[in-house]
Structure 1
Amino acid sequence: MNGNRLVRYSLRTIVLVYLGLLIVWPVSLVAKNAFSEGIGTFIDALTEETTAYAFQLTLIVAVWAVVINTVFGILISILLVRYTFPGRRALSAFIDLPLSVSPVVVGLALLLAYGGTNGWFGPALEDSGIQVIYATPGIIMATAFVSLPLVIREIVPVLTEIGTEQEQAARSLGANAWQTFRRITIPAIRWALVYGVVLSLARSLGEFGAVKIVSGNIVGQTQTATLVVEEKYQNFEQTAAYASSFVLAAAAVLALIVVTLLRPGHEESASTAGVTAATTSVPTQKDPA
């Protein structure tokens, strides 16, 4: 018994030390250096015109990427779980590609596909007045690509666990596809969807490699917050670099806190909560919704 306790505490200590040295200590140093010259300097660094624009652009890009990934994440998840078709496993494996491929490769691939000079679709798009590369649309595409799996990999296990019984019951009572989706599927996956959206937002705010390739890093036009960090640090403006880094890190930590606070209130797991909601919301033929 004492031996098991010793092993447990030893493993816990090793893990805590590892996380402290790898994550907590370095991030705390960023926070320390961000405020090393006072709160006034910290605020001035963030409100500088190009830096403020970079954060504004980053937020716009992240929101669009999350919206795109939420819509297509739900559709792809339902397709993978509820339907059987040739190439289903290949599609499931392909979805994880952004997690295994370097973001720089993603940016280069988008450049080759949508570049204005040598891209496959770039010249045609530019003739139509649409610029993708070195513009906001390209940044959104790159960000959406690298964060796509986060929503899907949260929803798929929940859809798999809850099965199709509630949806079949709703259809047998006269509900159409939209009613079944709105009243049964969405309540069943709502917490998994929330987790996926929060994680996707955090990932989108911190994207660097793919964005650097497709944006061109044009100051005041296509420069995002992560690119500001690189530029400020290389130009020996350490305080501005640390301040921007701190804000990005704080956003990621806040996202994790949100997820952590949401989970304890639903310890029965997102899937069980979804089944409960679905059971109490099956529409009948008299339901006008």
Structure 2
Amino acid sequence: MVESTTPVRWLLRLLAIGYVFMLVAWPVGLLVQHTFADGLTTLTATLTDPGVVGALRLTALVTFWAVLINLVFGVTISMLLVRYEFPGKRLLSALIDVPLSVSPVVVGLALLLAYNGRDGWFGPTLEAHGIRLVFDLPAMVMATCFVALPLVIREVVPVLTEIGDDQEQAARSLGASAPQTFWRITLPSIRWAVVYGVVLSLARAVGEFGAVKIVSGNFTGRTQTATLVVEQQYQNFQQDAAYATSFLLILVSVACLVVVALLRPGRH
């Protein structure tokens, strides 16, 4: 029986490897090849370009705030979904998955309609109080938070469900407060789920394009992130610079995943 299924197993493995190679490894490999076609010349020129450097800094700033916000709310919502029963729980769980099924461009347009200073629902009121969201950093952070919202939650919820609440109840019965129980019992149990969710959020935030383009206005030197720079460079026939900038974005995401894979134990 084993011998008869061995060829099938090998065929399935080859199909899986071939699929991943054609879809991921080969295109990324070609991007790296074009980036270093002239050695380090293209990459060095890109890293010294003020426009690219500014875009990378803005991308890092947007990513930092988006990941931090999603970390806080992601863990909070996860605790709410797993540890408590309340009306609308299933609806909340379904809404969390909306960013995975809605195009980022639609997200950006929705935020624009809601917070635009001229005819948005909340924009005129906010701008009357000196608060500007659209075409500025706050809207870019909001759009990035939206598209990366489910990543921390969907990593933490299964782990919280698996570990149960026995240890938490024991800690509370011994007089531990809610914050003490969370920091000493709950968080250590879910730390790797949190770390991996944060890394996935970081990778998603760094590469966000559609939603950010809509709400940022794509103003060069002010609201232009690295992904928007890639588009501009490619459209301006600066393909080498576009390849190099894309390589830097890929490098950040892959480096985070590799570090977590090396540090993370076999299970959460």
In the TM superposition, 1:7-26 aligns within 5 A as 7-26=8-27
Which residue number corresponds to residue 134 of structure 2?
133
Give the C-alpha shift of residue 38 in structure 1. 2.8
Deviation readout 1:249-288 (Å, 9 max, x if unpaired): 112222221232233xx22x21xxxxxxxxxxxxxxxxxx
1:41 Cα shift?
A: 2.5
TM superposition score normalised by structure 2? 0.98
Identical columns (%): 61
Deviation of 1:29 after TM superposition, in Å, equals 0.6
Q: What SS does the corresponding residue of 1:24 show, helix, strand or coil?
A: helix
What is the Cα deviation at residue 118 of structure 1? 1.0
Q: 1 CA distance for matches of 2:206 and 2:146?
A: 13
What are structure 2's unaligned runs of at least 5 residues? none
Amino acid at match of 1:198: V
* Cα separation, 2, equivalents of 1:79 and 1:42: 46
Structure 2 counterparts to residues 1-289 of structure 1, below 5 A: 1-263=2-264, 266-267=265-266, 269-270=267-268
Q: Partner of 1:189: helix, strand, or coil?
A: helix
CA–CA separation in structure 1 for the residues paired with 2:242 and 2:167: 52
Write out per-residue CA displacement over residues 126-183 of structure 1, whole angstroms, 9 at most, x where no aligned residue. 1111111100111000001100100000000011111110000000000011111111
- Mapped to 2, the partners of 1:220 and 1:198 lie a distance apart of 27
- The aligned residue for residue 279 of structure 1 is none
The alignment's TM-score, normalised by the length of structure 1, stands at: 0.91
Q: SS of the counterpart of 1:220?
A: coil
What stretches of structure 1 move > 3 A for 4+ residues in a row?
Answer: none
Counterpart residue identity of residue 4, structure 1: T
**Counterpart contact for 1:46–1:240, Cα < 8 Å:** no
1:91-118 residue CA offsets vs partner (Å, 9 max, x unmatched): 0010000000000000001001111111
Measure, in 1, the Cα distance between the counterparts of 2:142 and 2:167.
36
Inter-partner Cα distance in structure 2 for 1:59 and 1:3: 53
The residue identity in structure 2 corresponding to 1:195 is Y
Give 1:68's aligned amino acid.
I
SS state at 1:77 partner: helix
Calculate the aligned-residue CA RMSD, in Å: 0.9
2:167 and 2:185 in contact (8 A); partners too: yes
Equivalenced residues, count: 267
Stretch moving more, 2-11 or 111-120: 2-11
Shift of 1:35: 1.6
What CA distance in whole angstroms lies between the structure 2 residues aligned with 1:5 and 1:120? 62
